[in-house]
Structure 1
């Protein structure tokens, strides 16, 4: 793996290991148990926000909403509003945080200190060791999720080693065999499915989709064909897999932690880009941060 994106993907287990040592202190940015919390983001960070909201509620930490920063408007009452932005400069995220009325704590999770978002926050968690130079995000979102899960007392003892083992082996699929990529998840892993599909579009300019796993039968399965690769996040649903395979599509499920599954999907995106003569470091029409006039 020679691209910057590839090297940042490969660094994830080491970055996760560092994050897990700080989890119970750093996780406080998501609020105290019982706080009504809103999590905002754009693009990848919006998908992370959706996953965090599902994880936080499942852990009994309190009611948690997620929203696209570009779409959110004040209305519901919150104790805390958390904005996620790797760059700390995304215009819609900063603007959304400025719309928050007096009262809620304004918190940020970002990769760079001293940025516009950082200065707009009452509290900030700066994961500068997880920041990236690539336009395409990989290790920053997975690190945020690993840290949050550990702060919710999930046992992630084997996560780092699982990641290293996955990286040491070649991908078990030939990307050239497929022209259509589908990612399915449930609960918090639906956010991961959306993120995986985005990576395929960003890096490889390829046809990719994402859905809640059990909703796939409700229409989207109609375009599945022998050139379709369907990746299932989380536990394997054998009945769903059988229905997909009857279309001629291939089901890809990795028996590993969902973050390791996402790491493998990121590798898939890079390999697909390179097989098409594209550089994952230079995605078409994209920059590292969307900053508007």
Structure 2
């Protein structure tokens, strides 16, 4: 790739395998122990990573784990640990939540920028400054944060395997049919549903694409009506039996590759960047967005 539009996004998305390998070397002893009641909080992309980790942790039998965007956390529900995910450390809603619960629940921040209000408020800080970004559109910080959390559930080898697959993905460019399609639907099962929502958000932010995201088994309960020639239904992770055939019958492309869901997300990042360039858009400075939402 040589187009200067999205130059920061390009460099950052291509660095993801290195970032994921790096988090396997970090101390994760601050993370919740088995049986602790946990809430994971984020806004936007960070919320979707929170959703993925929450589903992952519960499925592994490690304990009740809820995920909320910061303004929707039920303040009357008791938790042992609260984890916040924030690249900037300045998001107003995250700061408000940490201020409210200070001293009542142990808080952990997965944080990009370190000299920030969130760093001062959290009890424990996981320093992910090495994965911070210049592009407004997040790629590597989000996947690095999830990879750090994932290592405590699936094991560090799963993270390393995903990094190897992502590196393989990045050796080639996406097929032309995937770029600048009319519409994209992203699907996922279990924890991968959070990744599917994030995939849709990346396409919307980067290139103003028409995207939707669903749990895979729900897609046939109405949303498949949107499938048609020139559109993409993109399964991340395991595909439900029979779904591929039903989508292909509509004339839409069914994208379903046997690789780790986070490595598949890296392919989506490539498609988002190339589609933005095809449309003359700069994903480093997407329309109506800023690096952090700071409310007055």
- TM-score using structure 2 length: 0.94
1:64 to partner: Cα distance: 0.5
| Alignment partner of 1:12 is 2:16 | yes
Q: Is the 8 A contact 2:102 2:121 kept in 1?
A: no
Q: Is 1:94 aligned to residue 98 of structure 2? A: no
Residue of structure 1 equivalent to 2:190:
187
Is 2:65 the counterpart of 1:56? no
Partner Cα separation in structure 2 for residue 76 and residue 101 of structure 1: 15
RMSD between superposed Cα atoms in Å: 1.5
| Deviation string, structure 1 residues 129-181 (Cα, Å, up to 9, x no partner) | 11111100000111112122222243324222211111011212434562101
SS in 2 for 1:251: strand
Within the candidate set 234, 249, 255, 1:231 is matched to: 234
Contact 2:185–2:234 (CA under 8 A) maintained in structure 1: yes
Choose 116-125 or 195-204, whichever is displaced more.
Answer: 116-125
The correspondence of residues 30-179 of structure 1 with structure 2, limited to 5 A, is 30-100=31-101, 102-154=103-155, 155-156=157-158, 157-176=160-179, 178-179=181-182
Q: What TM-score do the two structures reach when normalised by structure 1?
A: 0.95
1:264 paired to 2:267: yes
Give the length in aligned residue pairs.
Answer: 290
Instruction: Tell whether 2:25 aligns with 1:21.
Output: yes
Once structures 1 and 2 are overlaid, which stretch shifts more, 168-177 or 229-238? 168-177
Q: Secondary structure at the match of 2:284?
A: coil
Deviation >4 Å, runs of 4+: none
Q: CA deviation at 1:102?
A: 4.1
Tell me: CA distance 1:104–1:258, structure 2 relative to 1, closer, same or farther (3 Å): same
Structure 1 unaligned residues grouped into runs of 5+: none
- The answer to whether 1:285 aligns with 2:284 is no
Confirm or deny: 8 A CA contact 2:187 2:236 kept in the other structure.
yes
Provide the rounded CA distance (Å) in 2 between the counterparts of 1:237 and 1:40: 29
For 1:12 and 1:279, locate their aligned partners in 2 and report how far apart those are by CA, in whole Å: 20
Which residue is equivalent to 2:246?
243
Instruction: Name the CA distance, whole Å, in 1 between partners of 2:53 and 2:255.
Output: 25
Q: Distance in 2 between matches of 1:244 and 1:105?
A: 46
Give ranges in structure 2 of 5+ residues lacking alignment: none
Q: Within 2, Cα distance between the matches of 1:66 and 1:280? A: 27
Cα pair distance change 1:204/1:79, threshold 3 Å: same
Contact preservation (8 Å) 1:231, 1:253: yes
2: distance between equivalents of 1:273 and 1:238?
Answer: 33
Deviation of residue 10 (structure 1)?
Answer: 0.3
User: Would you say 1:204 and 2:207 are equivalent positions?
Assistant: yes
Say whether the 8 Å CA contact 2:180–2:278 is kept in structure 1. no
- Between the aligned partners of 2:134 and 2:32, the Cα distance in structure 1 is 29
Alpha-carbon offset, residue 79 of structure 1:
0.5
